[in-house]
Amino acid sequence: MPSTQDFLTQLNEFSARIGAASVAETEAWLAETSRILATALASPGPQTPLLFSNAHEALRRLPPNVVTSTRVQALLSVAQFLYVSGQPFAGLDPAADAVACARRLGDAGDLRRALTFHGIILADTGNLPGAIECFAEALEVARESGDTFGEGSVWNNLGATLIYAAQYAEAIGCLERVIELAQTDQRLSSIRLQALSNIALASLHLEDFARGLRAAKSAVEAAADPKTPTELLSRVLSESYYTRLLLEVDSLERAKE
DSSP H stretches of helix in the chain: 4-16, 23-42, 48-61, 69-84, 88-105, 108-124, 128-144, 148-164, 168-182, 189-206, 209-222, 229-248, 252-256
Task: Give the phi and the psi of residue 120 in degrees, each rounded to 5.
Answer: -60, -45
Give yes or no for a contact between 243 and 255, defined as CB atoms under 8 angstroms apart: yes
Rounded to a whole number of angstroms, the CA Rg of the chain reads: 20
Distance CA 11, CA 18 (A): 10
Per-residue pLDDT, 2: 55
Distance CA 244, CA 250 (A): 10
Nearest to 151 by CA among 113, 123, 183, 104: 113
For residue 208, give the 3-state DSSP assignment.
Answer: coil
Distance CA 139, CA 246 (A): 35
Per-residue pLDDT, 62: 86
Does the reported pTM lie above 0.85?
yes
**C-alpha distances in Å from residue 163, one per residue of 121, 128, 133, 136, 170:** 15, 10, 16, 16, 8
Nearest to 28 by CA among 65, 63, 56, 66: 66
Per-residue pLDDT, 19: 62
Per-residue pLDDT, 241: 96
Which letter does DSSP use for residue 152 in this model?
A: H
Rounded mean pLDDT for each run of 10 residues along the chain, 257 residues in total: 64 64 81 87 84 89 88 95 93 96 95 98 96 97 96 97 96 97 93 96 97 95 81 88 95 90
